[in-house]
Amino acid sequence: MLYNEYVILEHDFTLTVPQIRASIERISAVLGTTYFSGDEIIRYAELMQVYSGAMREVSTKLENLDEEFHVRNFHNPIHHMECRLKSIESTIDKLKRKHLPINCDSIEYELTDIAGIRVICNYIDDVYNVAQTLAAQSDITVLRTKDYIAKPKPNGYRSLHLIVQVPVFLSTGPRLTAVEVQLRTIAMDYWASLEHRLRYKNDIDESRKLAHAQELLDCAHDLADIEQRMQHIHQDLG
């Protein structure tokens, strides 16, 4: 596996063309089809470098905002951040799911979640403050917003998702690049990790899975309530 896990920010995503070629050859052999051959591999490596740069641009903006909040308000809105580049396997899967040709044009022009940043905040107000101040920056364009906090998913999932576009300055000039930013509180992250485990657990029977899903939905409601109460105490303390 090349990428795909959300990891702490210091991680170095730079991969060379031979590393990417080896990985693509391995995946193509497993899937029985040749994906990204010849020049496409070089373009893929270049694309990943641009996405990695976009991730760095956005995460630096978020770090600067966090520091500014801290200096002004003695409070850090961001607890920590994680980022990931979508793996080749997941990218191929997604292109197949969307019935798109499996090539670099599809990745560049049709997918907006190759680069992902997860911003774990302390309180719900922090989530919205960070999102608003990031979105207001002059070189950031918000392409899409999904507010699963205002309107949680039926399974109880809550988070604020933004697709933002940021210029990455290459030797050839600026390249506008999409980054998926998932903002959530510590409680929402805690919940999402467990739900994610349940979702990909296939060695338990359906009735146990259903019972856990119902229990998780109850937990989501309880966590939302506790979060509200803690937010009030936090606000009251000033």
Examine residue 161 and tell whether it contacts ligand GTP (CB under 6 A).
yes
Counting other chains too, the contacts that 171-177 makes at CB distance below 8 Å and 24 or more residues apart are 175/50, 176/141, 177/50, 177/51, 177/53, 177/54, 177/115
CB 131 within 8 A of CB 183: yes
The least distance separating ligand GTP from the CB of residue 163, rounded to whole angstroms, comes to: 8
The least distance separating ligand GTP from the CB of residue 148, rounded to whole angstroms, comes to: 7
Q: In what order do the strands lie in the sheet with 160-170?
A: 7-8, 78-85, 115-121, 173-185, 160-170, 141-147
- Pick the piece of the chain touching ligand GTP (CB under 6 A) from 21-29, 149-157, 202-210, 226-234: 149-157
- Contacts of residue 152, defined as CB under 8 A and 6 or more positions apart, other chains included, come to 158, 220, 224
Examine residue 189 and tell whether it contacts ligand GTP (CB under 6 A).
no
* Contacting residue, 113, 128, 148, 219, with Mg ion by CB under 5 A: 113
Q: Please give the DSSP secondary-structure letter assigned to residue 148.
A: T
Examine residue 157 and tell whether it contacts ligand GTP (CB under 6 A).
yes
* Residue 153 partner contact from Mg ion, ligand GTP, none using kind-dependent CB cut-offs of 5 to 8 Å: ligand GTP
- Given the complex with ligand GTP, which of 25 and 108 has the nearer CB atom? 108
63 is known as an active-site residue: no
The least distance separating Mg ion from the CB of residue 99, rounded to whole angstroms, comes to: 17
Q: Which residue has the tokens 């693509």?
A: 24
Where does residue 82 fall: left (phi above 0), alpha (psi -120 to 50 degrees), or beta otherwise?
A: beta
* Residue 227 partner contact from Mg ion, ligand GTP, none using kind-dependent CB cut-offs of 5 to 8 Å: none
3-state secondary structure 100-123: CCCCHHHHHHHCCCCEEEEEEECC
Examine residue 89 and tell whether it contacts Mg ion (CB under 5 A).
no
- Given the complex with Mg ion, which of 90 and 137 has the nearer CB atom? 90
Examine residue 155 and tell whether it contacts ligand GTP (CB under 6 A).
yes
Q: Per CB under 6 A, which of residues 22..61 are in contact with ligand GTP?
A: none
- Given the complex with ligand GTP, which of 52 and 91 has the nearer CB atom? 91
Active site residues: 180
